[in-house]
Structure 1
Amino acid sequence: MTGYRESTDLQLAALLSQGDRSAYTEIFERYSRVMYVYAKNLVRDKDEAEDMVQDVFTSLWDKSPRLELKGSLSSYLYSAVRYKFINLVAKKRVRTDYAEAFQLLIDEGDYNIDSYINEKELLALIEKEVAKLPEKMRKVFELSRNAGLSHNQIAQQLNLSEKTVKNHINHALKVLRGKFEVAFIMVYLLSK
Protein backbone atom coordinates (compact mmCIF):
# COMPACT_ATOMS: atom_id res chain seq x y z
CA MET A 1 0.00 0.00 0.00
CA THR A 2 1.27 3.47 -0.83
CA GLY A 3 0.30 6.74 0.76
CA TYR A 4 0.76 5.81 4.40
CA ARG A 5 0.36 9.47 5.38
CA GLU A 6 -3.17 9.44 4.00
CA SER A 7 -4.04 6.21 5.81
CA THR A 8 -6.30 6.27 8.81
CA ASP A 9 -5.08 5.03 12.17
CA LEU A 10 -7.33 1.99 11.76
CA GLN A 11 -5.73 1.15 8.39
CA LEU A 12 -2.24 1.64 9.83
CA ALA A 13 -3.05 -0.60 12.80
CA ALA A 14 -4.30 -3.33 10.44
CA LEU A 15 -1.11 -3.07 8.36
CA LEU A 16 1.01 -3.04 11.52
CA SER A 17 -0.60 -6.26 12.71
CA GLN A 18 0.63 -7.81 9.45
CA GLY A 19 4.20 -6.74 10.21
CA ASP A 20 4.28 -3.72 7.89
CA ARG A 21 7.32 -1.65 8.92
CA SER A 22 6.23 1.36 6.88
CA ALA A 23 2.94 1.45 8.79
CA TYR A 24 4.90 1.32 12.04
CA THR A 25 7.14 4.17 10.85
CA GLU A 26 4.10 6.28 9.96
CA ILE A 27 2.53 5.61 13.37
CA PHE A 28 5.81 6.57 15.03
CA GLU A 29 6.08 9.77 12.96
CA ARG A 30 2.46 10.61 13.66
CA TYR A 31 2.49 10.06 17.42
CA SER A 32 6.00 10.00 18.91
CA ARG A 33 6.28 13.77 19.49
CA VAL A 34 2.82 14.00 21.04
CA MET A 35 3.52 11.00 23.27
CA TYR A 36 6.85 12.53 24.30
CA VAL A 37 5.15 15.79 25.37
CA TYR A 38 2.53 13.80 27.29
CA ALA A 39 5.20 11.64 28.98
CA LYS A 40 7.32 14.68 29.81
CA ASN A 41 4.34 16.35 31.47
CA LEU A 42 3.85 13.23 33.58
CA VAL A 43 7.45 12.60 34.68
CA ARG A 44 8.91 16.09 34.29
CA ASP A 45 12.19 14.56 33.13
CA LYS A 46 13.35 14.64 29.51
CA ASP A 47 15.35 11.37 29.63
CA GLU A 48 12.64 9.45 31.51
CA ALA A 49 10.05 10.70 29.01
CA GLU A 50 12.19 9.62 26.05
CA ASP A 51 12.70 6.18 27.62
CA MET A 52 8.99 5.77 28.26
CA VAL A 53 8.05 6.68 24.69
CA GLN A 54 10.77 4.42 23.28
CA ASP A 55 9.50 1.55 25.44
CA VAL A 56 5.92 2.16 24.28
CA PHE A 57 6.86 2.10 20.60
CA THR A 58 9.16 -0.90 21.03
CA SER A 59 6.33 -2.71 22.76
CA LEU A 60 3.91 -1.67 20.00
CA TRP A 61 6.16 -3.29 17.40
CA ASP A 62 6.73 -6.39 19.53
CA LYS A 63 2.98 -6.81 20.08
CA SER A 64 1.99 -5.89 16.54
CA PRO A 65 1.08 -9.44 15.41
CA ARG A 66 -1.39 -9.65 18.31
CA LEU A 67 -2.53 -6.02 18.22
CA GLU A 68 -6.27 -5.70 18.69
CA LEU A 69 -7.37 -2.13 19.29
CA LYS A 70 -10.55 -1.72 21.27
CA GLY A 71 -10.52 2.03 20.72
CA SER A 72 -8.46 4.47 18.73
CA LEU A 73 -4.73 4.12 18.14
CA SER A 74 -4.09 7.39 19.99
CA SER A 75 -6.07 6.13 23.02
CA TYR A 76 -4.01 2.94 22.99
CA LEU A 77 -0.74 4.92 22.92
CA TYR A 78 -1.84 7.38 25.63
CA SER A 79 -2.88 4.44 27.82
CA ALA A 80 0.46 2.72 27.19
CA VAL A 81 2.40 5.85 28.23
CA ARG A 82 0.19 6.24 31.32
CA TYR A 83 0.79 2.58 32.19
CA LYS A 84 4.58 3.06 31.84
CA PHE A 85 4.32 6.08 34.13
CA ILE A 86 2.41 4.10 36.78
CA ASN A 87 5.02 1.33 36.62
CA LEU A 88 7.82 3.86 36.91
CA VAL A 89 6.25 5.43 40.00
CA ALA A 90 5.71 2.00 41.56
CA LYS A 91 9.34 0.97 40.90
CA LYS A 92 10.68 4.22 42.33
CA ARG A 93 8.50 3.78 45.40
CA VAL A 94 9.82 0.23 45.88
CA ARG A 95 13.41 1.42 45.48
CA THR A 96 12.78 4.22 47.96
CA ASP A 97 11.18 1.78 50.41
CA TYR A 98 14.21 -0.56 50.17
CA ALA A 99 16.65 2.30 50.60
CA GLU A 100 14.71 3.62 53.60
CA ALA A 101 14.52 0.15 55.19
CA PHE A 102 18.25 -0.33 54.72
CA GLN A 103 19.04 3.12 56.11
CA LEU A 104 16.78 2.46 59.10
CA LEU A 105 18.61 -0.79 59.75
CA ILE A 106 21.94 1.07 59.76
CA ASP A 107 20.65 4.03 61.80
CA GLU A 108 19.13 1.86 64.50
CA GLY A 109 22.32 -0.16 64.86
CA ASP A 110 20.58 -3.40 63.89
CA TYR A 111 23.06 -3.83 61.11
CA ASN A 112 24.71 -6.70 62.89
CA ILE A 113 24.33 -9.51 60.40
CA ASP A 114 26.95 -11.55 62.26
CA SER A 115 24.40 -12.21 64.97
CA TYR A 116 22.01 -13.62 62.40
CA ILE A 117 24.42 -15.17 59.93
CA ASN A 118 28.04 -14.64 59.06
CA GLU A 119 28.34 -12.13 56.22
CA LYS A 120 30.67 -14.39 54.25
CA GLU A 121 28.23 -17.26 54.57
CA LEU A 122 25.44 -14.98 53.42
CA LEU A 123 27.43 -13.83 50.40
CA ALA A 124 28.21 -17.46 49.58
CA LEU A 125 24.50 -18.30 49.79
CA ILE A 126 23.59 -15.43 47.49
CA GLU A 127 26.36 -16.40 45.05
CA LYS A 128 24.97 -19.93 45.06
CA GLU A 129 21.51 -18.62 44.16
CA VAL A 130 22.99 -16.38 41.45
CA ALA A 131 24.70 -19.46 39.98
CA LYS A 132 21.28 -21.15 39.74
CA LEU A 133 19.89 -18.38 37.52
CA PRO A 134 19.39 -19.20 33.83
CA GLU A 135 22.70 -18.80 31.99
CA LYS A 136 21.92 -15.62 30.03
CA MET A 137 20.31 -13.94 33.05
CA ARG A 138 23.25 -14.94 35.25
CA LYS A 139 25.78 -13.53 32.75
CA VAL A 140 23.89 -10.24 32.51
CA PHE A 141 23.51 -9.99 36.29
CA GLU A 142 27.18 -10.76 36.95
CA LEU A 143 28.38 -8.28 34.32
CA SER A 144 26.20 -5.63 35.94
CA ARG A 145 26.95 -6.36 39.60
CA ASN A 146 30.45 -7.85 39.52
CA ALA A 147 32.02 -6.12 36.53
CA GLY A 148 30.09 -2.87 37.03
CA LEU A 149 29.12 -2.58 33.37
CA SER A 150 26.24 -0.35 32.29
CA HIS A 151 23.15 -1.77 30.60
CA ASN A 152 24.41 -0.40 27.29
CA GLN A 153 27.85 -2.01 27.69
CA ILE A 154 26.30 -5.37 28.59
CA ALA A 155 23.89 -5.14 25.65
CA GLN A 156 26.78 -4.54 23.26
CA GLN A 157 28.96 -7.26 24.77
CA LEU A 158 26.22 -9.93 24.70
CA ASN A 159 24.48 -8.68 21.55
CA LEU A 160 21.20 -7.98 23.37
CA SER A 161 18.89 -4.99 23.56
CA GLU A 162 19.21 -2.70 26.56
CA LYS A 163 15.60 -3.54 27.45
CA THR A 164 16.45 -7.25 27.55
CA VAL A 165 19.43 -6.52 29.80
CA LYS A 166 17.23 -4.44 32.11
CA ASN A 167 14.61 -7.20 32.21
CA HIS A 168 17.23 -9.86 33.06
CA ILE A 169 18.61 -7.77 35.93
CA ASN A 170 15.15 -6.96 37.29
CA HIS A 171 14.11 -10.61 37.13
CA ALA A 172 17.32 -11.76 38.83
CA LEU A 173 16.76 -9.28 41.67
CA LYS A 174 13.16 -10.46 41.98
CA VAL A 175 14.37 -14.06 42.31
CA LEU A 176 16.90 -13.07 44.96
CA ARG A 177 14.36 -10.98 46.87
CA GLY A 178 12.16 -14.05 47.00
CA LYS A 179 14.91 -16.01 48.75
CA PHE A 180 16.60 -13.41 50.97
CA GLU A 181 15.65 -10.44 53.08
CA VAL A 182 16.18 -7.01 51.55
CA ALA A 183 18.99 -6.10 53.93
CA PHE A 184 20.99 -9.15 52.90
CA ILE A 185 20.64 -8.36 49.21
CA MET A 186 21.71 -4.78 49.89
CA VAL A 187 24.84 -6.06 51.67
CA TYR A 188 25.56 -8.30 48.69
CA LEU A 189 25.09 -5.51 46.15
CA LEU A 190 27.11 -3.03 48.20
CA SER A 191 29.95 -5.52 48.69
CA LYS A 192 30.74 -5.45 44.95
Structure 2
Amino acid sequence: MEIPQQHIQSDEQLLQSLQQDSRQAFNELYFRHWENLYRAAYTVLRDEDSSKDIVQEVFFSIWKKRHTQQIRQLSAYLFQAVKFQVARQLRHGKLLDIHVEQLGHLHTMNTTEESLHASELDALLETTLGKLPERCRDVFYLSRFEQLSNKEIAQRLNLSTRTVEWHISNALKHLRHSIENTFLLLILLMLH
Protein backbone atom coordinates (compact mmCIF):
# COMPACT_ATOMS: atom_id res chain seq x y z
CA MET A 1 0.00 0.00 0.00
CA GLU A 2 1.40 3.37 -1.00
CA ILE A 3 1.25 6.15 1.59
CA PRO A 4 0.16 9.47 0.07
CA GLN A 5 2.69 12.25 0.57
CA GLN A 6 1.48 15.40 2.21
CA HIS A 7 1.80 18.59 0.26
CA ILE A 8 4.68 20.49 1.85
CA GLN A 9 4.03 24.20 1.85
CA SER A 10 6.75 26.80 1.56
CA ASP A 11 7.32 29.32 4.33
CA GLU A 12 5.74 31.97 2.12
CA GLN A 13 2.57 29.91 1.68
CA LEU A 14 2.42 29.24 5.41
CA LEU A 15 2.85 32.95 6.15
CA GLN A 16 -0.11 33.71 3.87
CA SER A 17 -2.19 31.13 5.73
CA LEU A 18 -1.00 32.57 9.02
CA GLN A 19 -2.34 35.99 8.01
CA GLN A 20 -5.73 34.28 7.70
CA ASP A 21 -5.44 33.02 11.31
CA SER A 22 -4.36 29.47 10.50
CA ARG A 23 -3.10 27.83 13.68
CA GLN A 24 -2.00 24.85 11.61
CA ALA A 25 0.28 27.11 9.54
CA PHE A 26 1.65 28.65 12.73
CA ASN A 27 2.37 25.19 14.19
CA GLU A 28 4.07 24.08 10.97
CA LEU A 29 6.30 27.17 10.96
CA TYR A 30 7.07 26.72 14.64
CA PHE A 31 8.08 23.07 14.34
CA ARG A 32 9.96 23.71 11.10
CA HIS A 33 12.20 26.42 12.58
CA TRP A 34 12.17 25.88 16.35
CA GLU A 35 15.24 23.65 16.68
CA ASN A 36 17.61 25.79 14.60
CA LEU A 37 16.50 28.95 16.37
CA TYR A 38 16.88 27.30 19.76
CA ARG A 39 20.40 26.14 18.86
CA ALA A 40 21.33 29.64 17.71
CA ALA A 41 20.16 31.16 21.01
CA TYR A 42 21.68 28.38 23.13
CA THR A 43 25.05 28.71 21.38
CA VAL A 44 25.39 32.21 22.79
CA LEU A 45 23.45 32.04 26.07
CA ARG A 46 24.28 28.49 27.19
CA ASP A 47 20.99 28.46 29.09
CA GLU A 48 18.15 26.14 28.04
CA ASP A 49 15.28 28.04 29.64
CA SER A 50 16.36 31.45 28.35
CA SER A 51 16.92 30.04 24.87
CA LYS A 52 13.48 28.41 24.82
CA ASP A 53 11.88 31.61 26.12
CA ILE A 54 13.51 33.68 23.40
CA VAL A 55 12.32 31.37 20.62
CA GLN A 56 8.80 31.37 22.05
CA GLU A 57 8.82 35.18 22.34
CA VAL A 58 9.81 35.46 18.68
CA PHE A 59 7.00 33.14 17.57
CA PHE A 60 4.52 34.83 19.89
CA SER A 61 5.43 38.14 18.27
CA ILE A 62 4.87 36.66 14.80
CA TRP A 63 1.43 35.39 15.83
CA LYS A 64 0.51 38.70 17.47
CA LYS A 65 1.58 40.74 14.41
CA ARG A 66 0.38 38.24 11.79
CA HIS A 67 -2.09 40.68 10.20
CA THR A 68 0.23 43.68 9.96
CA GLN A 69 3.75 42.35 9.54
CA GLN A 70 5.16 41.77 6.07
CA ILE A 71 8.00 39.23 6.15
CA ARG A 72 9.87 38.58 2.92
CA GLN A 73 12.43 35.96 3.96
CA LEU A 74 11.16 34.14 7.04
CA SER A 75 14.28 32.22 7.97
CA ALA A 76 16.47 35.34 7.88
CA TYR A 77 13.81 37.29 9.79
CA LEU A 78 13.58 34.62 12.51
CA PHE A 79 17.34 34.40 13.00
CA GLN A 80 17.61 38.21 13.13
CA ALA A 81 14.79 38.34 15.71
CA VAL A 82 16.46 35.66 17.84
CA LYS A 83 19.81 37.43 17.52
CA PHE A 84 18.21 40.69 18.65
CA GLN A 85 16.48 39.02 21.63
CA VAL A 86 19.73 37.29 22.67
CA ALA A 87 21.62 40.59 22.49
CA ARG A 88 18.81 42.30 24.39
CA GLN A 89 18.93 39.66 27.11
CA LEU A 90 22.71 39.90 27.38
CA ARG A 91 22.52 43.67 27.50
CA HIS A 92 19.71 43.59 30.06
CA GLY A 93 21.67 41.12 32.21
CA LYS A 94 24.79 43.29 32.07
CA LEU A 95 22.86 46.40 33.02
CA LEU A 96 21.21 44.66 35.94
CA ASP A 97 24.48 43.20 37.17
CA ILE A 98 26.29 46.55 37.10
CA HIS A 99 23.88 49.23 38.36
CA VAL A 100 20.43 47.87 39.21
CA GLU A 101 19.42 50.59 41.62
CA GLN A 102 20.70 53.45 39.44
CA LEU A 103 19.06 52.45 36.20
CA GLY A 104 15.46 52.27 37.39
CA HIS A 105 13.02 50.63 35.06
CA LEU A 106 13.92 50.01 31.44
CA HIS A 107 11.53 51.42 28.87
CA THR A 108 10.38 49.14 26.12
CA MET A 109 11.58 50.19 22.72
CA ASN A 110 9.38 50.75 19.74
CA THR A 111 10.02 48.95 16.46
CA THR A 112 12.09 51.78 14.98
CA GLU A 113 14.34 51.91 18.03
CA GLU A 114 14.67 48.12 18.04
CA SER A 115 15.74 48.17 14.40
CA LEU A 116 18.26 50.90 15.15
CA HIS A 117 19.71 48.98 18.09
CA ALA A 118 19.82 45.77 16.07
CA SER A 119 21.73 47.49 13.28
CA GLU A 120 24.08 49.06 15.85
CA LEU A 121 24.72 45.62 17.32
CA ASP A 122 25.29 44.23 13.83
CA ALA A 123 27.81 47.00 13.17
CA LEU A 124 29.54 46.30 16.50
CA LEU A 125 29.67 42.59 15.69
CA GLU A 126 31.02 43.26 12.20
CA THR A 127 33.67 45.68 13.50
CA THR A 128 34.78 43.33 16.26
CA LEU A 129 34.92 40.32 13.96
CA GLY A 130 36.82 42.41 11.41
CA LYS A 131 39.58 42.96 13.97
CA LEU A 132 40.09 39.24 14.53
CA PRO A 133 42.76 37.27 12.68
CA GLU A 134 41.35 35.78 9.49
CA ARG A 135 41.45 32.14 10.66
CA CYS A 136 39.76 33.01 13.97
CA ARG A 137 37.05 34.98 12.12
CA ASP A 138 36.47 32.09 9.69
CA VAL A 139 36.12 29.56 12.50
CA PHE A 140 33.71 31.81 14.42
CA TYR A 141 31.63 32.47 11.31
CA LEU A 142 31.32 28.74 10.52
CA SER A 143 30.41 27.99 14.13
CA ARG A 144 27.90 30.72 14.85
CA PHE A 145 26.45 31.65 11.48
CA GLU A 146 26.59 28.38 9.56
CA GLN A 147 25.92 26.31 12.70
CA LEU A 148 28.69 23.78 11.98
CA SER A 149 30.00 21.59 14.78
CA ASN A 150 33.60 21.94 15.94
CA LYS A 151 34.40 18.64 14.26
CA GLU A 152 32.89 19.78 10.94
CA ILE A 153 34.85 23.04 11.11
CA ALA A 154 38.05 21.16 11.89
CA GLN A 155 37.54 18.92 8.87
CA ARG A 156 36.63 21.79 6.54
CA LEU A 157 39.60 23.97 7.56
CA ASN A 158 42.05 21.12 8.17
CA LEU A 159 42.52 22.01 11.86
CA SER A 160 42.41 20.06 15.08
CA THR A 161 39.23 20.25 17.14
CA ARG A 162 41.20 21.84 19.99
CA THR A 163 42.40 24.60 17.65
CA VAL A 164 38.81 25.23 16.56
CA GLU A 165 37.74 25.46 20.22
CA TRP A 166 40.59 27.89 20.93
CA HIS A 167 39.61 30.14 18.00
CA ILE A 168 35.95 30.20 19.10
CA SER A 169 36.94 30.98 22.68
CA ASN A 170 39.26 33.75 21.48
CA ALA A 171 36.55 35.29 19.27
CA LEU A 172 33.99 35.17 22.10
CA LYS A 173 36.48 36.81 24.47
CA HIS A 174 36.98 39.67 22.00
CA LEU A 175 33.21 40.03 21.48
CA ARG A 176 32.53 40.07 25.23
CA HIS A 177 35.21 42.72 25.75
CA SER A 178 33.84 44.85 22.93
CA ILE A 179 30.23 44.52 24.13
CA GLU A 180 31.17 45.25 27.76
CA ASN A 181 32.98 48.44 26.73
CA THR A 182 29.99 49.54 24.65
CA PHE A 183 27.52 48.89 27.47
CA LEU A 184 29.70 50.60 30.06
CA LEU A 185 29.75 53.67 27.83
CA LEU A 186 25.97 53.43 27.47
CA ILE A 187 25.55 53.23 31.25
CA LEU A 188 27.77 56.27 31.79
CA LEU A 189 25.72 58.21 29.25
CA MET A 190 22.47 57.14 30.91
CA LEU A 191 23.68 58.17 34.38
CA HIS A 192 24.60 61.72 33.33
> TM-score band, normalised by the shorter chain?
0.3 to 0.5
Q: Could you tell me the TM-score, scaled by structure 1's length?
A: 0.48
Q: Could you tell me the TM-score, scaled by structure 2's length?
A: 0.48
Which of structures 1 and 2 has the bigger CA Rg? 1
